[in-house]
Amino acid sequence: MLNDARTQTERWFPTMKLCRRAYEEGKCAFAGRSKQADGIVNNAVADADQIRNNAIRYTDEMLAKPGNHYYPFLDTAEEHLSGLKSSLQDSRSIVQSIVLHWQRPFRSKQG
């Protein structure tokens, strides 16, 4: 009986080892994707902040200059800024959905 248990254990050991290795590789791959997605979101936020700050600075410079011949350009700039903001929000939503998509399979396998 002890020999049978030993034989069965020896048969199952490589399978367990393979499963453990696959789990660890999957875990590493998920962590890499999660870090990559976080990096994309962080870069998008940083870019949006930089664009916003540049737009504010540009607007301040235009308003500080004498003459009001820049007002038509400000309306156009505001339209472009609104479009950019909308695009960045859409991009952020897409990236967040990608992150959630990659988290679901990993979480369901853990449970």
Name the pTM for this structure.
0.37
- Name the DSSP class of 111: -
What pLDDT score was predicted for residue 110?
60
Q: What is the pLDDT of residues 59-105, one digit of tens each?
A: 888 777 765 666 777 788 899 999 999 999 999 988 988 888 888 76
Q: What is the pLDDT of residues 36-46, one digit of tens each?
A: 878 888 888 89
Count how many residues are written for the chain: 111
Q: Which two tokens stand for residue 99?
A: 């992150």
Whole-angstrom distance, CA of residue 35 vs CA of residue 30: 8
What pLDDT score was predicted for residue 85?
93
What pLDDT score was predicted for residue 42?
86
